[in-house]
Chain A
């Protein structure tokens, strides 16, 4: 019998095989070999690419190196989006491995946030977790936690320690027995076709008449363009962690099981591939 707990594991241990190549215009002393890596879907690019940085810096002169950034097919990759989200949104229909271009020059100030150190990632991550708990429990649970618990969440992600992370994170996933779910579901819906970075609204997991809301309900409410009309052709894929959950899936369940470590459901709505 498969248990829901196994989903957490599968989500956590999701990996994207990636090939990093140095941007052709970067000046190198000798030829830079591509670098192959399995990136954890739930982590952040700048958190897991120390090896990449080191690898390419070996062939470069110190003065040519400024802040590293990544780009895929011309789109700069936002480090503050989880890796899995970036992949689903931008590259899910392309062949593996994922080809990411590495830049050390020409930081696209208007597209990307700077990531001066891992503290910046931690700050971003923790602020997401806190925002999510504000939605889920009016911040009650995150505020009741001790500093070391916060640290353990971050270190669990940092070190890719599932147990360490979930030992604390499970508390964020609880809700009172008399309720049927969280207060609001922390989610963000991303679309490549719009300028808007993402959609985020207040949405309850249970309707006023006690019915559990589903993924379909959410999309119909906040992003109707994502759902195909009853008889119409399916135009979009709704993807979380590289899979397309059925629209009948209860949102509360999704939030508990398919949220990223920042406790948000990052949902990608991408055009249905032609084939």
Chain B
């Protein structure tokens, strides 16, 4: 299958119009979240999640974890009774007793593929035609052929969907392009179809596809109640969404439960991320009349009964998210029944009828009922358990919102209730607008600052000290707002005090024209219904008060809001009265700093959180002046006096300590050693250091020493037992045999590493942030390293051996890092979180001087640890955990060689902590049965997901999540999780600073995305542009001249046509078949070269790529043993090699550089081996540093060439001689 020019070129420019259509709406979509003025930059820069709450008037507010103001939900047409939030959506019951879902907007559309098959049979007269035999299937059918499915009969499921494009023929058949209109042929229906037409092909079919898109985002979409007309007469009373951790199939599964007024429990079928509305309601029988329900993220589901008991659902699991049976839990005391429950992953909180708060002890998956009740302090109307088992509650007397502080995995009941006093948006009209000014002048200017009103009585100093501007005090923000809104100023007149006189006659002109929601007292009429256990007297009174007397409490601060349509029923002095809260979308973690508990005025704290590129403080004049004056001072006081003697002689400074050292020879173990680091100043003033390691062999004292100017990398090797690090020199890199040292404590190791790092950087004379051309790499531990490229690295001859490159660590934890030549660097964590580099250095264990003082932020990452449960079949008892004596451990790692029990397996290092329990992993390659087992004839073998007669062993994979919290120069780019990212390399010499930087990514769900607005000053960019694809993608790369290549999950490649600065999304995909019998997994595009790596570790070069024919003609094999490739702007090729044999040892995961790459020989000749032993990722794509011709030769002459070729284990050493073509 040469898959030559013809096949590739059939790749269809005709898709252009559809693509254009699909790309455009995405580009025009509004920014994701409503960002009121002032919160904008903070909300954009900080990863944030939100707490949802409903006040007594039925208004839904959200409070961001990064923010300090309640934001009114934009859709204010409806009043709500209940909300239940999940990360990307929120379900609610409105006052019309209908269920609504609010799907948060995102740059990635929710799109679903509809398909239909066109079937034809050959007949001798007309050839293939629609006339089928009477016994045949429908001419238009589903995939099985059993359902009639004409194209115009496929309807949208609800008004919340829209078609993305018209129907078109799918021409991709199992990763191969088909010819002639996408037809596949067979002898008869149903049969195996092939792409090729044979003499006996009597029937053919082709697949038509069409996409529909969910359009009702950032708005409350009514769940159609047309289904089950008989069954669903009664309105809903309560609802709860959860279950997202039960299964990852289908993507983003949610369990949506609701309770009707008649006390029945309903489950909404098929709710998931791609199907946000679900499909239908089904009734779940209960032994009593239910009033309230709560569903946790995992398998907990509790309901309360009228009689005051709780029901606990048992048997909820992956295969049965609805569960199987109920158990009854009695209330804590018989006189006061349970009124309300809320559940998390491993906790249950309840409120009894006397408003007391209870915590249920001993709840977990195995025992969903728990063991006993504990009474907690406080009286609450309701409580809600959110993410991480964090708890919120609404106070009984004050209806204020409380957050349970101190809830940790080890102390699930937390410590104290802390009242949330965040202001609503009304207060930001003055204090908020001043905080949106980010100039240094504002920071220190003398503008009048309005303080935020306290929304709740609070005992914190901040609020009691805050001055409250009286209503008749002129507020400068008002004057800022009015000019931009002539309507408001014309309506209210320049005298802002008059507003109070305008409005009493009902909604004033301003309210009528500007307020989108006419506030109506009668709207609270449905409150008569017994739909809530909240006493409604108070709200009704308040509501009528607000309707009639709204203006009385109007303060000037609202004026700024009226033009925005966010009318405010309260006086600013009232604190909001809450009716309901949901924390299901609110991530609060140990390191999260919440600003909800003090009324903030001024802007000092927010300034710190939104500094991505340049903080106001950094640009401040005072800072510049200090730098400048210090330079002048040095000049003045030192310049002409350098010949003076120093008062303090620079002595040799020695730091000594005890470490453990891995003895390189027998007995090959850790031995205690004394170490000393001697620092001295050379004649040229440069500092250098020597590390001495004193050890004892055979009672003889010996030492070894390392010049730190020869050290090329210091790598932390954290494992569960030791705080160790490895020290590499070029020699040691060649041997694949670093010096390994271990410290007694983590602190000790950090101190040594920081000191050694600093000394190395000093001798290498590198400090500060990495240059824009730096080479970035990542180890298998997620540690990030960076190297400054020497011009000789890509010299045409006498190039610098890459084992001499100096790598220094930068804080953070990543799986992928990609750089461009303009200083924009992006990373992706193990959990898929996207991160953008902030320009700092250090963080993590690199503290003190090894770290920059700004631009370091907390970072966390989550990964899974896998262990295997192994069983053998025996004729008597079936599968048991009793193996043969020769068998592997019954609980083991993937290889079976290491014993790994559930109890004995620890997180990868002390930096990691468990954040979940063990659960069966169903997503292993090869598939599993219902219980997660995979079968094989014997260990070790190929496993399959079903049992056959010949299978005697089985295994299943257990997984447990662990989490690491560190810090580094990275800021999260929320919210879309990524799998791959690529930034356009700067062409050498090109002056590309004009337009924004092209950045492409593949999301974890397989969507292809293009980031808009990325520049040096805004490296995070502004929004994603979604690029339509017909299947999920795995890897994407943008090379020089805007060539975009991508690899789909089926292993075939695609190139994107016509991408340019003016058309950032390009127009269509060209399908490029993968190399024969190989599935590609990654592609990298340099200036002109295109390289790809397949799943078997082969590196392929795309032959015949020319400007006029950018798809090229064929794949040529370059090498095996390759895990990852990075092709740079000079078309230089760097890879991570799987195994490299050194003189002392073998290392896995090694940075290698392709030698002999020249314009006429883009495939190069051989490999040069660099740092290795656990390297996973490299990005060379920022380095366009070419050696100046003469100097490079001069310098290269001083560099010794590498000391001889090293062998890649089992790698073919092809084309070592000089070859010309």
**A and B interact:** yes
Q: Report chain A residues within 8 Å CB of B758.
A: 163
Most chain A beta carbons < 10 A, residue from B604, B617, B751: B604
A234 to chain B, nearest CB (A): 15
Partner of A38 from the list B622, B630, B644 (CB cut-off 8 Å) is B644
The answer to whether A48 and B648 have CB atoms under 8 Å apart is: yes
Chain B residue with Cβ nearest A215: B622
Asked if A49 meets B647 with Cβ closer than 8 Å, knowing A163-B758, A167-B751, A210-B462, the reply is: yes
Stretch of B157-165, B386-394, B845-853 that contacts chain A: B845-853
The reply to whether the CB of B1022 lies closer than 8 angstroms to some CB of chain A is: no
The digit string for A5-26, where 1 denotes a CB below 8 A from any CB of B, is 1111011011111000000000
Asked whether any CB of chain A lies closer than 8 Å to the CB of B633, the reply is: yes
Please determine whether B644 and A170 come into contact, CB atoms closer than 8 angstroms. no
A3 to B758, CA, bound (A): 16
Interface residues on B, range: 35 or more
Is B467 in contact with chain A by the CB < 8 A criterion? yes
CB <8 Å contact, A248 and B444: yes
Is the C-beta of A73 less than 8 angstroms from some C-beta in chain B?
no
A7 touches B626 (CB 8 A): yes
Query: Given that A14-B633, A166-B848, A241-B633 are known contacts, is A209 also in contact with B601, CB under 8 Å in the complex?
Result: yes
Contact among A10, A210, A242, A243 with B605 in the assembled complex (CB-CB below 8 Å): A210
Interface check A153, CB cutoff 8 A: no
- Residue pair A246, B621 in contact (C-beta under 8 Å): yes
* Contact B620 A248, beta carbon cutoff 8 Å: yes
List the B side residues contacting A244 at CB < 8 Å.
Answer: 629
- Is there an interface contact between B755 and A43, defined as CB atoms closer than 8 Å? no
Inter-chain contact B630/A10, CB cutoff 8 Å: yes
Q: Are B647 and A14 closer than 8 Å at their CB atoms?
A: no
A111 to chain B, nearest CB (A): 23
Give A2 Cβ to nearest chain B Cβ, in Å. 5
Chain B residues 543 to 561 lying within 8 A of chain A, measured CB to CB, are: none
Whole-angstrom CA separation of A210 from B466 in the bound complex: 9
With A4-B854, A209-B601, A245-B625 known to touch, is A167 a contact of B848 (CB < 8 Å)? Answer: yes
Please give the distance in Å from A237's CB to the nearest CB on chain B: 12
Q: Are B593 and A177 in contact (CB under 8 A)?
A: yes
Complex-state Cα separation, A15 to B605, whole angstroms: 37
Q: A37-B644, A38-B645, A210-B604 are in contact. Are A1 and B854 (CB under 8 A)?
A: no
Tell whether, in the assembled complex, residue B601 and residue A5 are in contact, meaning their CB atoms are under 8 Å apart: no
A249/B622 contact (C-beta < 8 A), A1-B839, A10-B630, A209-B449 known: yes
Q: Whole-angstrom distance between the alpha carbons of A97 and B647 in the complex?
A: 14
* Docked-complex contact A209 and B625, CB < 8 angstroms: no
**Complex: A95 Cα to B1020 Cα, angstroms:** 51
Does B641 contact A17, Cβ atoms closer than 8 Å? Answer: yes
Contact status A208-B465, CB under 8 Å: yes
Contacts of B854 in A (CB 8 A): 3-4
Whether the Cβ atoms of A208 and B462 lie closer than 8 Å is yes
Contact of A163 among B621, B623, B638, B755 (CB under 8 A): B755
Contacts of A214 in B (CB 8 A): 444
Q: Within the complex, what minimum Cβ distance (angstroms) separates B759 from chain A?
A: 8
B361 within 8 A of A: no
Chain B residues near A210 (CB, 8 Å)? 462, 600-605
**Is B461 interfacial (CB 8 A cutoff)?**
yes
Task: Give the complex CA separation of A40 and B620 in angstroms.
Answer: 29
Question: Shortest Cβ distance from A15 into chain B, in angstroms?
Answer: 6
Q: Which residues of A contact B839 (CB under 8 A)?
A: 1
Any chain B CB within 8 A of the CB of A51? yes
Which residues from chain A contact B645 at a C-beta distance below 8 Å?
Answer: 36-38, 51
Which chain B residues border A13 with CB–CB below 8 Å? 634
Interface contact A3-B768, CB-CB below 8 Å: yes
Residues of chain A contacted by B650 (CB below 8 angstroms): 160
In the complex, chain B residues whose CB is within 8 Å of the CB of A177: 593
Is B1210 part of the contact surface with A, judged by Cβ < 8 Å? Answer: no
Instruction: Give the docked Cα–Cα distance between A15 and B650 (Å).
Output: 14
What B residues does A14 contact at CB under 8 A? Answer: 633-634, 637
B593, A178: Cβ atoms under 8 Å?
yes
What distance in Å separates the Cβ of B922 from its nearest Cβ neighbour in chain A?
A: 40
Distance in angstroms between the alpha carbons of A40 and B604 in the assembled complex: 36
Tell me, yes or no, whether B777 is within 8 Å of chain A by CB.
no
**A16-B637 in contact given A159-B651, A209-B465 (Cβ < 8 Å):** yes
A sample of 27 inter-chain contacts (CB < 8 A) reads A3-B768, A3-B854, A4-B852, A10-B633, A10-B634, A16-B637, A36-B645, A38-B641, A38-B644, A39-B647, A40-B647, A96-B636, A158-B648, A160-B648, A163-B849, A167-B848, A206-B604, A208-B466, A210-B601, A210-B605, A243-B626, A243-B630, A246-B621, A246-B625, A246-B626, A250-B617, A253-B623
Residues in A lying within 8 Å of B, measured CB to CB: 1-8, 10-11, 13-17, 36-40, 43, 48-49, 51, 96-97, 158-161, 163-164, 166-167, 170, 177-178, 180, 206, 208-212, 214, 241-246, 248-250, 253, 257-258
Beyond the given pairs A7-B626, A210-B605, 8 more chain A to chain B contacts, judged by CB atoms under 8 angstroms and listed by A's residue number, are A1-B768, A8-B849, A40-B647, A170-B847, A208-B461, A246-B621, A249-B626, A250-B622
Enumerate the 8 nearest inter-chain pairs by beta-carbon distance, A residue then B residue, closest first: A17-B641, A243-B629, A48-B647, A160-B648, A246-B622, A249-B622, A208-B465, A210-B602
